[in-house]
Chain A
Amino acid sequence: MIDFMDVSKQFTVKKQKVNALENVSLQIADGDIFGVIGFSGAGKSTLLRMVNALERPSSGRIEVNGLDINQLSFSKLRQVRKQIGMVFQQFNLLNSKSVYDNIAIPLRLNHMDEGKIEERVSELLAFVELTDKRNVYPTQLSGGQKQRVGIARALATNPSILLCDEATSALDPETTDSILRLLEKINREMNITILIVTHEIHVIQRICNKVAVMEQGKLVEHGSVLDVFCNPRQEMTKKFVKTVIADEIPESVIAVLKQDQRHHKIFSLRFLGEDVQENILCRINKTFAVETNIVFASVNELQHTVLGIFIVQFIGDEQQIQSAIDYVLKQSIECQEVTV
């Protein structure tokens, strides 16, 4: 459990005060894969680095598993840091040490004996599927492999929390996907809470269950990924969500709709989960004197749940359209009128 309580942070850059974080309050529950998204400079990395006190707040409290991280003595802080793994965008591996030695470092810092280190490192190498790279040096690895070593190193001491600072931002899409699968596996099999900071919305879509959106040091929106993605309230959130979940009628279709002389209205319908299976449009056509015409449709997967977006033109007289919409709303399908 990570608890940010009214956290603010000011930096002084060239004698000017910059608010990196402003009154951020946020809770990350055990077992979450919590994503923080924002453009660069939004303060998300600062937020992440406060969890292991690499960065200290100007005001506010941060509690990690019930401990106020900024009130700890240095030796106690070091103990807590060993329970928090961290993965970096630039990997931060030691080029002077082999893959094996890189993963062994945190164990050596714990003065574990070499036999046990050998056992643990072999286990971790197998987990990240790099057993054959054991004696290779980081410069000979690809970006994805380096990040796997970084992850193995972060997991070496069996942490309860894993911090990922733009962990996939230096990787190509395919490698990103394999790293995300690995993170998901870590969360599921080892029950490790993951806090991931990113500017890539599809990282959030792919693995997170909760999301927080940040803009200029402020937390603008947060909640479950399903809620936030289905119902983005803030402009910033809409901007991000739109890039992965399209919900706009193509230009050429709009042109056709504008010329349609019949009485019609256009509605955007959002289905979640099993609702998608039910053929609501077919039932509307049968029940009401309304003709339906799909002008846009997309089906997206979020948190292993399906989100369907249909934009439908309802053609018919006003009263029939209204009854059809009432019917739709009764099915607890979200419905909004769209003007073209």
Chain B
Amino acid sequence: MMDLGVPNAQILLAAEQTIYMVFVSLALGTLLGMVMAVILVLTNENGILKNKYVYFILNTIVNIIRSVPFIILMVFILPLTKEIVGTRVGTTAALVPLVIFIAPYLTRLFENSLLEVDYGIVEAAQAMGASHFEVVWHFLLPEAKGSLILSITTGTIGLLGATAMAGVIGAGGVGDLALTYGYERLNFPLMLFTVIILVLFVQIIQSFGNYFAAKIRNH
């Protein structure tokens, strides 16, 4: 392997940190985002549990968080981070802002996916005597699955971009490696290498997403 000015072990560690941050926050963010998206879809004006107040409050929260750039959100919620994980710095500490950043983003994407489902499906479900939970679980989610997978793919890539900024609170990761060792040390080869790594990550994630979505949609 060519000399990049940093030990290979450090590069591996950075990749590991990035993968850890992306997937843990993705898992938590998906869970939260899904719950919020379902609530939005059920309570909106045409929803089966139409509720102006719940919809308005949740919708506003999502909009507010989404309008704060990640780097500002991250430093803004440092006290909260301290409360939750006991420290303000490090890879695990970065999970808190990452989850708070990605959950509303995924909420919007999931909401759109769920809204794409033909309303007739919901009606058929109701006509069968399905409970509200069953409407979501047996009808809405399976019908939106392909689209939801693409939403998760888009979210994952967004998350990858956000992790690069997590270096600010000492979270490490590939982005941090590029900034502190590549940019600040004027190490162009390392910079190029990390860019290639990130591009590869994105390609792999997108290809997986497309593959699974297509597999489901081709039925």
Binding partners A and B: yes
CA distance A45 to B172 in the complex (A): 61
Contact B126 A54 (CB under 8 A): yes
CA distance A86 to B143 in the complex (A): 19
Pick out which of these stretches binds chain B: A91-99, A213-221, A254-262, A304-312.
A91-99
Those of A10-27 within 8 Å (CB) of chain B: none
CA distance A84 to B127 in the complex (A): 8
CA distance A86 to B127 in the complex (A): 7
Closest chain B residue to A52, Cβ basis: B127
Closest chain B CB from A118 CB (angstroms): 18
CA distance A163 to B126 in the complex (A): 14
Closest chain A residue to B138, Cβ basis: A105
If A94-B139, A137-B219 touch, whether A78 touches B130 (CB-CB below 8 Å) is yes
Interface size in chain B (residues, C-beta < 8 A): 20
Contact A96 B128 (CB under 8 A): no
Contact B219 A92 (CB under 8 A): no
Contact B118 A92 (CB under 8 A): yes
Please indicate the chain A residues that have their CB under 8 angstroms from the CB of B123 in the complex. 54, 88, 92
User: Is there a chain B Cβ closer than 8 Å to A9's Cβ?
Assistant: no
Contact B130 A96 (CB under 8 A): no
Contact B127 A81 (CB under 8 A): yes
Those of B160-214 within 8 Å (CB) of chain A: none
User: Is there a chain A Cβ closer than 8 Å to B120's Cβ?
Assistant: yes
CA distance A94 to B121 in the complex (A): 7
If A92-B120, A92-B121 touch, whether A108 touches B126 (CB-CB below 8 Å) is no
User: Is there a chain A Cβ closer than 8 Å to B134's Cβ?
Assistant: yes
Interface size in chain A (residues, C-beta < 8 A): 28
User: Is there a chain A Cβ closer than 8 Å to B66's Cβ?
Assistant: no
Please indicate the chain A residues that have their CB under 8 angstroms from the CB of B124 in the complex. 86, 88, 92
Contact A90 B118 (CB under 8 A): yes
Contact B121 A81 (CB under 8 A): no
Those of A55-94 within 8 Å (CB) of chain B: 77-82, 84-86, 88, 90, 92, 94
Please indicate the chain A residues that have their CB under 8 angstroms from the CB of B118 in the complex. 90, 92
Using a CB–CB cutoff of 8 Å, the interface residues on chain B facing chain A are 118, 120-121, 123-124, 126-131, 134, 138-139, 142-143, 145-146, 216, 219
User: Top 7 closest A-B pairs, CB basis?
Assistant: A81-B129, A137-B219, A86-B127, A92-B120, A78-B129, A92-B124, A82-B129
Interface CB pairs A-B, < 8 A, 24 = A52-B126, A54-B123, A54-B126, A77-B129, A78-B129, A81-B127, A81-B128, A81-B129, A82-B128, A85-B127, A86-B124, A88-B123, A92-B120, A92-B123, A92-B124, A96-B146, A97-B142, A98-B219, A105-B138, A106-B129, A109-B129, A109-B130, A137-B219, A163-B127
